[in-house]
Amino acid sequence: MLVLLFADGALLDEKAYWLGTINLILVGRIIDIALWKSKKNVSADSGPLGIQRYAVGTILTSIMWSMYAFLFFDAMQVSEFTCFIVILASLAGASASMFSASSFIAISYSIIILAPTAIMGIFADQSERVHLGILSLSYCVLMIIYSLKNSRFTEQAIYNKNVNQKLVTKAIEEKNRFATINHELTTTTEALNQVNQNLEEQIKARTEEIYNLSNLDSLTKLDNRKAFTANLKTLVKQAVEKDRPLALLFIDLISFKNINDTMGHKVGDSVLVQVTQRISAFSENHRAGRWSGDEFLIALPYSDSNTALEIAQAMSHSISQPIYVHGNEIHLTASIGIAMAPNDSQSATELIQLADLTMCEQKQSSNNKPQLFSNDVKERILASQAILEGLQHAIENKQLYLCYQPIQKAKGYNCWANEALLRWDFDGKFIGPDVFIPLAEKSGLIKEIGAWVLNRACMDAVHWHDAPKVAVSVNVSVIQLMDKGFIRLLDKCLQSSGLPPERLHLEVTESTFVENQAFILQQLEQIRARNIAVSIDDFGTGYSSLSQLQALPVNFVKIDKTFVDNIEGKGEAIIRATLFIARELGCQTIAEGVETKEQAMALSAMGVDYLQGYYFAKPMKNKDLSDWQKTTIKT
């Protein structure tokens, strides 16, 4: 079908030869299989030879698939290349299961049919082929991992089957022996009975071991996701039939990732074991399960909402008690969402989703108490989903726009830069950035939106003819900075807009440097190498240490509004300390949130370099900014 669908007159003969060759190999493999199956007596010694013959045929087939890419890659259109990649991915996916009895065949097959084509795609000129090549190579790696796991599982299953077969065979032999000598040896009969009993115990133990491997989490010994979901379906069905309430608790450990990152997975595993023991104290056997790394589920039959809340509160209190592991005292908290059957749902799968959504809602709120699913929660979730769906189309619907707030020089109040602030008009309803920016970051839309903001800000700044030297300052999230393609995006925006790089400033929050300091520093150094200034936003509210700050390639430090608001109190001391640190680091300072003349004068007297706030101007659209610049900026 591949040859027929993409028949090319210039290459039709070559494709026909390729098709004929792979069919010849196929016929040869069919004949080989037929010859193998025609053998009446197959000894154990002939097994490796049969596997080798099968492997040769399989590898020859995979080589022919790769040869198709080598022979016709340059002539392929995007549609043919896409279809070809889909076919290879389907073959690789099927091979992981089909060849699971041989990890060598399964892995070799996936590598041979996927890797060469993927590498050719990655180094192709067309971006579509590059993307497909990257996806194919990633899928190839995934198939290798999956094939290894499948092979191990198959080998273990074959081993267990053979062991059990040997035990059963031995039992049958012992019973036959018992039948023949029963009339002669009573003592032999008793021995045989004992042997049979031992064999049954071994089979029972082996069966239990297989059950545990399939249904229990290896670390916590709780039900795994599959087993818990199956048990929950039964419990929900019983709750519906008997009209008795069933509570489902979805538990998420807060900040557990930090334990793995800072103390290692060995400590993290020990913590999970202790948390499991505390959770299990509130549930019966097979009523608790591990959903994912640090997420757990508890089913509470015959528990109404009040009882479920009390148990959840007690469980939360238990989890929050200190945990001592390898000489470390660790403190954890948990977010708990509760859904009730049959009131909230009569489906086990949906009940889990509702409890999960309620847990996420509770995590985002300031209230750390367990929360029940309710219509209010449902409405907030639906509203959040509606905002997220609208955000996915906000750019194409032209609902996003930028406002700019001037940043003034502290001496003379001349306009020095304008900060770009993103706004969203969602069908006539204003959605604040404090609402949609976290959703954009969580959903991954922040990369697309951030690219739009950066490009729009550069384009606007180029047309500030009344302020040709005024810079534009753009906020950049940690997700954008962690993107390996961010520097390429930055260069593209500058090139397409024609904005000089020295007129572009990027603002990053100091908590950014907690994520991956080495990579972030590398990104910032590339940004600075392009003469683009970098500011640390909301300085003093994040988690950076002085040892981190002294290594940062930044130009400016922005003093947070909370300190400016409290300038007559303790805020002044913090501002002066910030000024001292900034000077030592060779940075200039910007104070944001300046709302009164007194604040502006005090900050200027302290030595702050630049001021920003409502005292000078509120954020305004680009058109209004142009009018403001004409009347305000001093030349």
CB burial of residue 8 (10 Å; 0-12, 13-18, 19+): middle
Strand pairing of 504-509 and 533-539?
Answer: parallel
- The answer to whether residue 81 scores a pLDDT higher than 70 is yes
- The dihedral of CA 499, 500, 503, 505: what is its sign? positive
Alpha helices in 6-46 (DSSP H): 12-38
**What's the CATH fold of domain 225-373?**
Alpha-Beta Plaits (3.30.70)
- pLDDT, one tens digit per residue, over 257-268 is 888 877 888 898
User: What is the CB neighbour count within 10 angstroms for residue 539?
Assistant: 26
Question: What is the percent of the chain with per-residue pLDDT over 90, rounded to a whole number?
Answer: 42
Give the pLDDT score at 257: 80
Higher pLDDT among residues 620 and 442, named by residue: 620
Any idea which residue has 């002044």 for tokens?
A: 572
Q: How far is residue 88's CA from residue 61's CA, in Å, rounded to a whole number? A: 12
User: What is the CB neighbour count within 10 angstroms for residue 26?
Assistant: 14
The answer to whether the CB of 558 falls within 8 A of the CB of 538 is yes
Strand pairing of 429-431 and 415-426?
Answer: antiparallel
Mean pLDDT (the chain, rounded): 86
CB burial of residue 112 (10 Å; 0-12, 13-18, 19+): buried
Give the pLDDT score at 211: 57
CATH of domain 404-420+447-632: 3.20.20.450
- The answer to whether residue 518 scores a pLDDT higher than 70 is yes
Q: Per-domain residue ranges for the chain?
A: 2-157, 225-373, 404-420+447-632
Q: How far is residue 26's CA from residue 29's CA, in Å, rounded to a whole number? A: 5
- pLDDT, one tens digit per residue, over 355-413 is 988 998 888 776 778 999 988 888 877 787 788 889 999 999 999 999 999 999 998 88
- pLDDT, one tens digit per residue, over 537-596 is 877 655 444 555 666 788 999 998 989 999 988 889 989 998 988 888 889 999 999 999
User: If you count them, how many residues does the chain have?
Assistant: 635
Higher pLDDT among residues 121 and 42, named by residue: 121
- Lowest-pLDDT choice from 81-90, 124-133, 504-513: 504-513
Confidence of residue 452 (pLDDT cuts 50, 70, 90): very high
Count of CA atoms in the C-beta half-sphere (13 A) of 234: 6
- The answer to whether residue 146 scores a pLDDT higher than 80 is yes
- pLDDT, one tens digit per residue, over 232-285 is 999 999 999 999 999 999 999 988 888 887 788 889 899 999 999 999 999 887
Q: How far is residue 377's CA from residue 285's CA, in Å, rounded to a whole number? A: 31
Count of CA atoms in the C-beta half-sphere (13 A) of 77: 7
Question: What is the percent of the chain with per-residue pLDDT over 70, rounded to a whole number?
Answer: 92
The token duo for 150 is 């499948």
For the chain, helix (H) and strand (E) counts, in that order, are 23, 17
- pLDDT, one tens digit per residue, over 290-328 is 998 899 999 999 999 999 999 999 999 999 999 999 888
| CATH fold match for the domains 225-373 and 404-420+447-632 | no
Give the pLDDT score at 444: 85
Distance of CA 186 to the CA centre of its chain: 67
Q: Spell out the residues 6+ positions from residue 302 whose beta carbon is closer than 8 angstroms to its own.
A: 244, 245, 246
Any idea which residue has 């142009």 for tokens?
A: 626
3-class DSSP state for residue 590?
Answer: strand
Give the pLDDT score at 9: 66
- pLDDT, one tens digit per residue, over 539-554 is 765 544 455 566 678 8
Q: What is the CA angle 311-315-319, rounded to 5?
A: 175
Give the pLDDT score at 45: 66
Alpha helices in 281-344 (DSSP H): 305-319
- The answer to whether residue 615 scores a pLDDT higher than 80 is yes
The answer to whether the CB of 170 falls within 8 A of the CB of 199 is yes
Give the pLDDT score at 543: 44
Give the pLDDT score at 2: 78
Alpha helices in 432-498 (DSSP H): 433-443, 446-462, 478-481, 486-497
The answer to whether the CB of 437 falls within 8 A of the CB of 423 is no
- The answer to whether residue 348 scores a pLDDT higher than 90 is yes
